[in-house]
Amino acid sequence: MTTLVTAAQISQLRRMTAEPTTATYSDATLTTYIEAYPHIDQYGETPLDVWGVANAEWTPTYDLAAAAANIWEEKAGAVAAKFDFSANGGQYTQSQQYEQFMKQCRYYRSRRMPTTSTMVKSPEEMIGDESYIGNLPEPD
């Protein structure tokens, strides 16, 4: 399957997450993060129609801020066990790294694209069907 994520989007996500090399996050891994957040395009088309079928009219659009927030949260989890301590007259405050990563996570979570949902009534109402009374009281 071909990916719809561009090299420019991967590069932008690398800048957003302070990951300039592929040492920790490969391009394929970042592509997976990006593809997890498809979004409505500029024409109002959604990636999937109301029945969950791929929409051929959709222009690939992704929420990079949501992907960046998840990466920062993962990075914070990796350093969560670090703690502050004193040794040999020195003060080591390693917990600050966790706090900074979580600040970045919150920063990007607050910049996510707005989302919308489409509700589909099921079962569909039959016009002229007297057996469907909705919220009306039962007939006497």
| Higher-scoring residue by pLDDT: 29, 45 | 29
In which domain, by residue range, is 99 found?
7-109
Q: Kindly state the tokens that stand for 124.
A: 């569909």
Stretch 6-29: mean pLDDT, rounded?
Answer: 94
Q: Is residue 43 part of a domain?
A: yes
Structural domains counted in the chain:
1
What confidence category does residue 1 fall into, taking pLDDT thresholds of 50, 70 and 90?
Answer: very low
Q: Is residue 139 part of a domain?
A: no
Q: Is residue 2 part of a domain?
A: no
Stretch 4-30: mean pLDDT, rounded?
Answer: 94
Predicted confidence (pLDDT) per residue in 60-87, tens digit:
999 999 999 999 999 999 888 877 777 8
Q: Is residue 115 part of a domain?
A: no
- How far apart CA 70 and CA 78 sit, in angstroms, is 13
Can you name the residues that pair with 84 across neighbouring β-strands?
93
Mean of per-residue pLDDT scores for the chain: 85
- How far apart CA 46 and CA 104 sit, in angstroms, is 28
Q: Is residue 130 part of a domain?
A: no
